[in-house]
Amino acid sequence: MRMTLPREVLLKPLQQVVNVVERRSTMPILSNLLMQVEGEHLSLTATDLEVQMVARTACLGAEAGATTVPARKFFEIVRALPDGAMLNVSLVGDRLTVVAGRSRYTLACLAADDYPSSDELEVVERIRLKERDLKRVIDQTAFAMAQQDVRFYLNGLLLDVDATTLRAVSTDGHRLAVAETAVESGAQVRKQVIIPRKGVLELGRLLESVEQDIELEVGRTHLRVRREDLAFSTKLIDGRFPDYEAVIPLGADKEVRVQRDELRSSLQRAVILSNEKYRGVRFEFDPGVMRVVAHNPEQEEAVEEIEAKTQIAALSIGFNASYVLDALGALSGDEVLLMLRDAGSSVLLREVDHSLVRHVVMPMRL
C-alpha cells in the first residue's frame, strides 16, 4: 500500500473518524483505524462495535492495499505536522511509514483481515433530507436525552418519520424536546427508531449546516447516514419509546410572550441564589409582568422582574432553571411563547411564529 496526499486532505477525514475509537478497549484492534486504498481513493474506518464511521478522500500515486494503524498516534502525528506538508505514506510488512519533508514516522500495524467487519444493512426505509435540517433537529433536542437511566430506551434520541416529516424527540422523564423538519423523501410507512446516546453525539459533531442532501438508511437493527464523503452507522436501541405526544400539555390556554434573551439572562442571574442541588426557581405571573424568584437554605433571595405580554393573574409555578435554560438555548427568534394551564402542570415553550420546535418542562415543588 502506498499513497501521497497533502496533510490537510488527510487531516479532515481523520478528525471525523478518530472520535469513534475507544481510548481503552478490551480488543487492541479496536484502537486502530482501518486504512484501505483502492484506485485513487483512501477510506478510513473506525468502530467500537456500536457505531462505525467510514470517511473517504482522494489520494495520489496510490497503490492498493489495506492495514490498520493506531488511531490516536496516527491522528496526533498528522495534526502536528506543518500546514502545507505533503505526506508520503507506505506500508512494508507490518510497519506503516509516514514521510513529510525531513520528518519520518514508523508505526506498528495490525492485519486488516482481523478488523471487525460491518454487518450488511438490510434497508427497510430510505429517507432523504438536507444535512442542515438533520443537524438542526438533533441540536435542538439531544440535550434532553437521559444519561444511564434504567429505562434504557430514554438513553437515546427517537427519530419518528412519516412520508413528509421527520421528528427528533428526547426525554429524561423531567423534560421533553421535540423538533421537526420536512423531508424530501420520507418513509412509506411511519417508522420510529431510537439512536443510542453515543451515536447521537457523534452525529452532532459530524453533521454540518450545509445545503447538500443526506440519506438515512433504516434497517431493523441499524441506522446508516450517508453523504458523498462519509458513511456513519449505529446500532439502534431495541425498545419502545414513550408516547411523546401524550406528554405535550393539552388545554394550556394561558399564554406568556417574553423576550428570549431577557428571560435567559434573568434566569442565569437568579439561579445564583437558588438551591445548588435542585436549582429551583419560581415563575410568578401577573398582567404584563413575569417574575423569576429564587431562594436558598441560607434565606437569600433573588427577584428578577421582566416585561411580558400576558393577562395571567396571580399564578406561581416552580421549575428547574437548568431545564428551562436548555430549552431557551435550543429556540431561536427574539420572543418565546410559554403556554401554561395551572400551577401543577408542565410548561410548553416554543417559538412565537411556529411550533416546529417544542419543549416541555415538568413543574417542581418548591
- Give 92-127 pLDDT, tens digit per residue: 999 999 999 999 999 999 999 999 987 678 899 999
pLDDT digits (tens, 9 = 90+) for 309-350: 999 999 999 999 999 999 999 999 999 999 999 999 999 999
What's the chain's average pLDDT? 95
Cβ count within 10 A of residue 113: 9
Distance CA 32, CA 18 (A): 9
CATH code: domain 125-245 is 3.10.150.10
Does the predicted TM-score (pTM) go above 0.85?
yes
Domain 125-245 shares a fold with domain 248-361: yes
In this prediction, residue 208 carries a pLDDT of: 93
How far is Cα of residue 348 from the mean position of the Cα atoms in its chain? 22
In this prediction, residue 224 carries a pLDDT of: 96
- Domain residue limits, the chain: 2-114, 125-245, 248-361
Q: Mean pLDDT throughout 287-301?
A: 96
Cβ pair 180, 166 in contact under 8 A: yes
Distance CA 75, CA 324 (A): 39
Query: What ranges make up the beta strands (E) of 321-356?
Result: 335-340, 347-351
User: 2-114: what CATH class?
Assistant: alpha beta
In this prediction, residue 75 carries a pLDDT of: 98
Q: Mean pLDDT throughout 133-148?
A: 96
Query: What ranges make up the beta strands (E) of 219-364?
Result: 222-227, 230-235, 254-259, 280-286, 289-295, 301-307, 315-320, 335-340, 347-351, 357-361
Name the architecture of domain 248-361: Roll (3.10)
